[in-house]
Chain A
């Protein structure tokens, strides 16, 4: 294969847009509570509590409406250490992605644990939330840290 006489042109491209998601009754309550530094799960017909709150039961598709406050502390059920965060990841320094089961919830959810070092992480460890100064009602209003 012959080498081209001139190199191909390259250019940085940036594609971005912001879409607005209308939250509906259940998720509106969930994110409003989050802005107030509270965590809302939702109860299923079998009595178990889903966190984050969902509009529908994932098994039976029944509508759900009984919001239940859970947390704010919880336990790590599994985790992975991010030693070299990429630019758009939640923290600029090393952190863990973990499944955290909040006290009172029956399902774990994926979130950030700002533990400082991998040696501080362990399955079964307890964590507590640390909120930003002005929560706006979004999932990145808080991270977890070792409790």
Chain B
């Protein structure tokens, strides 16, 4: 008996419940500016007017002080330092790398908040303090999307000192 026939005559043991939600996402002014910049290959953060910390991606207000960020955008490097990492061995969708892959918390140079992304490197090589750089899609494929960055990749620079990223662990 084929699986299909069995399904048609055996007891129904499992119910498939599809859940689906369509909605219109509005990015708002601040994230729109961030997305328009990333379409040009620029990474924008925003500086808190109270303590000067740079938040990435840019957002409308400071989560620490509750103040509006205004128009003070800061362009950041696409290089950074790995703060922490994890090896992923279970499949997920929309990941540019094959299993197993490495997820990383990256502190971009000039930023005071971490970015969560994936790293294209040998599993045995990844470590805290490793210097990395974004690998972008071909320029003609850039859109107003964070998916313009495919993943990060190690670069030939000395490891960052622990003191420079320890507060982000």
Q: Which of B21-29, B41-49, B157-165 contacts A (4 or more CB under 8 A)?
A: B21-29
How many A residues have CB within 8 A of the partner chain?
30
Q: Which of A8, A13, A20, A34 is close to B17, meaning CB atoms less than 8 Å apart?
A: A20
A-B interface pairs (CB < 8 A), number: 85
- Look across to chain A and name the residue whose beta carbon is closest to the beta carbon of B23: A13
How many B residues have CB within 8 A of the partner chain?
25
Cα distance, A8 to B35, chains bound together (Å): 10
29 contacts between A and B (CB under 8 A): A6-B33, A8-B26, A8-B27, A8-B28, A8-B31, A9-B32, A9-B35, A9-B144, A10-B25, A11-B24, A11-B27, A12-B22, A12-B24, A12-B25, A13-B22, A13-B23, A13-B24, A14-B21, A15-B20, A16-B21, A18-B18, A19-B16, A20-B17, A21-B17, A22-B14, A28-B12, A32-B11, A32-B12, A137-B15
Listed in ascending order, the chain B residues whose CB lies under 8 Å from chain A are 11-29, 31-33, 35-36, 144
Q: A12-B24, A15-B22, A23-B13 are in contact. List 11 more A-B contacts (CB 8 A).
A: A6-B36, A8-B29, A10-B26, A11-B27, A16-B21, A18-B16, A19-B17, A21-B17, A22-B13, A29-B11, A32-B11
